[in-house]
Structure 1
Amino acid sequence: MPKSNLHALSQPEVASNDPLHELIRQGARDLIAQAVETELESLLKQYADVKTPDGRRAVVRNGHLPKRAVQTGVSDVEVQVPKVRDRSGSGIRFNSHLLPPYLKRARSLEELIPWLYLRGVSSGDFQEALSALVGEQANGLSANTVSRLKAKWLDEHKDWQRRDLSQKRYVYWWADGVYSNVRLDDRLCLLVIIGVTEHGHKELVAVEDGHRESEASWRELLTDIRERGLEPSPKLAVGDGALGFWKALSKVFSVNTRITEVSPMKTMVYRLNSGVSRLFLFALVAVMPALVQAESANDAQAVKALATDSSGALLVLRDSGLLVLDDKTAADIPLPPSDSGAQPRSMAKGADERLYLAGPGLGIWRYEYASERWHSLNDTLPDLGITAIAAHATQPETLYAYLGEGGMFRSRDGGGEWVKVDGGPREPVQAFLHSDMPGSMESGWLFAGTTRGVARSMDCFCFWGDAGELRGAVTAIDYDPSAPENVYAVIEGQLHHSSDGGETWVGLEIPQAITALTFSPKEGLVVGTENGDLLSRNASGEWVPVHE
């Protein structure tokens, strides 16, 4: 018989060492374990008042049942259910609603994907989502249990997003934007980078939600991973030729990277073999993106920036729009137009009823109350990557802006012309403040909230130094105009106060994580929260709502 030129190809092993497969399995294991643990904590809390004759708690933890495997749509997932001991003799036992005794097979995990993504793991729909994993037993979860699970996962996701990348070295990158048809309300996509290390290991480098696949969204993602220490660029990057990724890559990294563009029908997901592409999508949608979407569900209402106009009205910036609040009315101002969908992140109040908004990918825009129109101020800027803007305390036609790696810029004519300023903080700036605090050789002080802490300089820009020993990524900063030495800064949702112009700082108790702050002549210190609330301090030092 003639020799055949056809060779059989081996099928991939089910129990492969693919890191994406392991990521999914670990995600499923953690999902089940955390849910069962919260069930147990609820039971222990329910019987916390049951005591033994000598005053000890009667219902306590008592180890775990033997491990057992539950079949899922990914693979067998090993689970272990905790036990309790009832020392009162009342027969109290712990039986998990999610993992009843003898459960060996769960419903397909793939049924879970649409609910996790579509609902964003919101507490109102979580039972429906988790029921796709373990069936109707998920209906026994309380809203409180769901909220605790959600909070824990959000914390884990934030830790993952902040992880140090300084020791990572990637030879190859695959970059793509992944859309899901189950998303009904907008066309957000997941921006994904998978890297291959020098030793051939695949790792999920970054995953973030973005507006379509714009250059601005990719640039924000790449800037973030570079600022977390990922300096060397890959030797080869592969992706769709339609991506804004390529422009962003060349601007963020000093690249000697070979760029390989593939047609839209051969992008990363489709080039992977069918098994891996299913795992890849599942890893993105069922493990990390579920947390991203849970966070993004509230993100539209989170307060991004606050300011006060000359009449004392509060200006409240959210992704959903700009709100002007005074004693009697609330008026909406539409946000400036953006072809890329970029959102403003910084706000400054200028002279003559002028308002300035800025953000990465948006640049700087000025709103004039009289004409009720936005005007672009980007003609003399090298690009649109503005991260912070501030107005001079006593010369409101003088503006300051920070342009990523482009450094500091100043305008003396209300934004008509921008000039680069020599010097500036060493770290990226996320918030700006000009203060008329005494002691400057010029007309005031500039405070910069950076990724490392608070930096300070006289507005002659002759020297930038640390303002005290406050450390962390500062997302908002402001001061009390009636007492300029009182400066306030927000680091990771916590409020800090300096009564000596930034020399020393103390933390202030506040009931919610805050995202923005301003001083109002009527309300005093006003803060905005990640939940969208506005709070002010009353005469007793208590935080009370500012009603919209």
Structure 2
Amino acid sequence: MMKVRSVSGSPLGRRHVLAMLGGVALSGLSPARWAQAGDAAASALAFDGDALVVAGAQVWRHDLSGGASATLATPRPHIRALATHPARTGRLFAASDGGGLDRSDDGGRTWAAASGGLPQAQVAALAIAAGAQDTVYAAVAGDGLWQSEDAGENWSFVMDRPWIAEAEREMLTLASVNLASGMGGIWIYAGTERGLTRVPDCFCRWQDVVAGDAMDALVAGTPPAPEAPLPEGEPVLALASAMAAPERFVAGLPSGLWASTDGGVTWSRRSGLVATALAVHPTEPSRIAAATADGVILSHDGGASWAALPTT
């Protein structure tokens, strides 16, 4: 069983020292506002079945099929990231500002600590493995990528931060997808402060997103650059994909909302919308939720048009 509000203290060497120092704080990312919640800020979104969970200083749950809204328990002060899995409706993972990770198995009504072995540093992003609902990935600021294979009971370090433009880069958002790629198919995509990268679930090496067989690209070492990548050097603030259509991505950058239909190889700019959090409905990939400076908005056509989140 999970221990409520407790953290395992096993020695972690260099990362244990980083944990005690609090890691590296993320700055410059203004949380979007959820207009329907007054002055509350929305910094994380996730679909839990047909319900949209919106989190910030509080946690809200909005049933898009019936229209009912509810304010839920907040596990810790201000939520930075959320993760859900369509095969386990009701299970939520939430990362809080300043460190700490919690799990709910009842749709956010009650929470318990799920950070045994994680450093006491900021968890900037979360994702649940596309093919294994108990496997969770956490991007720890100042450290790297961590994995739990038992739904947050225990954690282990699996990968350093991506090396981009001559430096390790912070991961701002994560997505796990099952794509046929020559390496088993399961990939963890990371939006970083300097662009998009990915690693297979063997955790062998971060690589640019390229066309064709990923194993060939790794062996070659210098794969051809895609014809239409995301803008070079821009931070990827938000990234999302539906498990029903893993080849389709949406990404939020300072330059606007971008979309890909080929696993992130080529991208097109859909609009100037600046989204700091995104969520895609697990079975309806054209239904997208975005947190913006003006509130949480919904699209039913893949981002071509948007409307405010309805409330009752």
TM-score, reference length from structure 1: 0.43
CA spacing shift, 1:538–1:408, aligned 2, 3 Å = closer
Aligned length: 256
Code of the residue aligned with 1:445 in structure 2: it is W
Cα drift, residue 378 of structure 1 = 2.3
Given the alignment, which residue of 179, 188, 212 partners 1:437?
179
Task: After superposition, give the CA deviation of every residue in 1:20-41 in whole Å (9 maximum; x if it has no partner).
Answer: xxxxxxxxxxxxxxxxxxxxxx
The structure 2 residue matched to 1:536, chosen from 299, 305, 311, is 299
**Following the alignment from structure 2 to structure 1, what is the Cα–Cα distance between the partners of residues 103 and 303?**
38
In the alignment, the residues of structure 2 paired with residue 299 and residue 362 of structure 1 have an alpha-carbon distance, to the nearest angstrom, of 26
> Quick check: 1:498 aligned with 2:233?
no
Report how far residue 419 of structure 1 moved.
0.5
Instruction: Give the distance between the partners of 1:370 and 1:446, measured in 2 at CA.
Output: 25
Aligned to 2:246: 484
Deviation, 1:530, is: 1.8
For the pair 1:309 / 2:48, whether they are aligned, the reply is: yes
Distance 1:503 1:546 in 2: 31
Q: Separation in 2 of the partners of 1:397 and 1:428?
A: 25
Aligned match for 1:519, one of 280, 296, 300: 280
| Structure 2 match to 1:397 | 134
Equivalent residue number for residue 106 of structure 2: 369
1:380 aligns with 2:124: no
1:359 CA displacement:
3.2
Find the counterpart in structure 2 of residue 335 from structure 1.
74
1:422 to 1:518, Cα distance in 2 relative to 1, 3 A: closer
Which residues of structure 2 form unaligned runs of 5+?
A: 1-20, 164-168, 210-228
Shift of 1:493: 6.5
Change (3 A) 1:516 1:382: closer
Aligned-pair CA distance for 1:314: 1.2
Aligned partner (choices 66, 75, 79) of residue 344 of structure 1: 79
**Residue 480 of structure 1 contacts residue 519 of structure 1 at CA under 8 Å; is this kept in 2?**
yes
Higher strand share: 2
- 2: CA distance, partners of 1:416 / 1:324: 28
Query: Which structure: larger Rg?
Result: 1
- The one-letter code of the counterpart of 1:536 is S
Change (3 A) 1:305 1:480: same
Residue 438 and residue 381 in structure 1: after superposition, are their counterparts in 2 closer, same or farther (change >3 A)? same
Report the residue type matching 1:515 in the other structure.
T
Normalised to the residue count of structure 2, the TM-score between the two structures is: 0.73
Report if aligned partners of 2:161, 2:170 keep a CA contact under 8 Å in 1. no
Aligned to 1:448: 190
Contact map agreement 2:237 2:275 (CA 8 A) in 1: no
Amino acid at match of 1:326: L
Q: How many Å apart are 1:322 and its aligned residue?
A: 2.8
Cα distance, 1:537 vs. partner?
3.6
- 1:434-474: CA deviations, max 9, x gaps? 01122152351110010001111211111212234533111
CA displacement at 1:410 relative to structure 2: 0.3
Aligned mates of 1:449, 1:394 — CA distance in 2: 20
Alpha carbons 2:81, 2:94 under 8 Å: kept:
yes
Matches within 5 A, 1:219-230: 220=25, 224=27
Cα distance in 1, alignment partners of residues 43 and 118 from structure 2: 23
Matched residue SS, 2:157? strand
Name the CA distance, whole Å, in 1 between partners of 2:296 and 2:160.
Answer: 37
Could you say if the C-alpha distance between residues 492 and 539 of structure 1 is closer, same or farther in structure 2, counting changes exceeding 3 Å?
A: closer
Q: 2:270 aligns with which of 508, 521, 533?
A: 508
Q: CA RMSD in A?
A: 3.0
In structure 1, stretches of 5+ residues that fail to align are 1-214, 226-291
Distance 1:224 1:314, change over 3 A: closer
Which whole-Å deviations, capped at 9, do the CAs of 1:56-106 have from their partners, x for residues lacking one?
A: xxxxxxxxxxxxxxxxxxxxxxxxxxxxxxxxxxxxxxxxxxxxxxxxxxx
1:300, 1:320 within 8 Å by CA — same for their partners in 2? no
